[in-house]
Amino acid sequence: MTAMSAVPVKKAPALYLVEFGVCMTLYVAAILLREWLYDPNASRTLRVAVIAMPVVPVWLAFLAVVRHYRRIDELSKVILLKNIAVAAGFMACLVTSYALLVDAGLPTLSITWAWPTLAACWAATTAINEWRAR
């Protein structure tokens, strides 16, 4: 993996933005294109492949985060891990708590809300930790 180790650390944020941006662009393109490409008369394999098309850029985005992690310096790695870990733990408790609140009468939410919730927790955790570090 000499390619990634040769990338200067200071270029890591820009490269991450580019890679993640490409993944999100592919995701949006896949969401829009699948409506256009879907043919109910096509074979089952083709229909499944078209409907599941957005799954690929989702995991490419995960890989973009991993690649970013491997490029940055040690301190940034620890900070990134702490932010993600706190956000993931907080989100897990939120999801579990809400599932119990559904039994108490709150409306059921789709699983689609899990990722935006994690993203919001991650953003809030990063912002709070950045503010505390000053």
Partner 1 sequence: MSTQALGFDTRTNLRYAAEMFGAAAVLTAAAFAARHAPAAPGTPEYIALQLLPVPAVWLLPLAMLRHYLRIDELQRLQMLQSIAITGGILAGIAWSLPFLHKAFGWTADGMWEVWFSIVFVSVTVLVNTRRLRAR
Q: How far apart are CA 86 and CA 123, in angstroms?
A: 11
Q: Tell me phi and psi for residue 82, to 5 degrees.
A: -60, -45
Compute the least distance from the CB of residue 89 to partner 1, in Å. Answer: 5
Q: How far apart are CA 66 and CA 128, in angstroms?
A: 23
Does residue number 82 form part of the binding site for partner 1 (CB under 8 A)?
yes
Compute the least distance from the CB of residue 113 to partner 1, in Å. Answer: 9
* Given 4, 9, 42, 51, the residue binding partner 1 (CB under 8 A): 51
Does residue number 20 form part of the binding site for partner 1 (CB under 8 A)?
no
Does residue number 28 form part of the binding site for partner 1 (CB under 8 A)?
no
Q: How far apart are CA 28 and CA 31, in angstroms?
A: 5
CA distances from 46 to 30, 41, 42, 52, 58 (A): 14, 10, 6, 10, 20
* Given 100, 131, 133, 134, the residue binding partner 1 (CB under 8 A): 100
Does residue number 29 form part of the binding site for partner 1 (CB under 8 A)?
no
Looking up tokens 């229909």, which residue turns up? 47
Q: Which residues bind partner 1 (CB under 8 A)?
A: 47-48, 51-55, 58-59, 61-62, 65-66, 78, 80-82, 84-85, 87-93, 95-97, 99-101, 103-105, 110-112, 114-115, 118
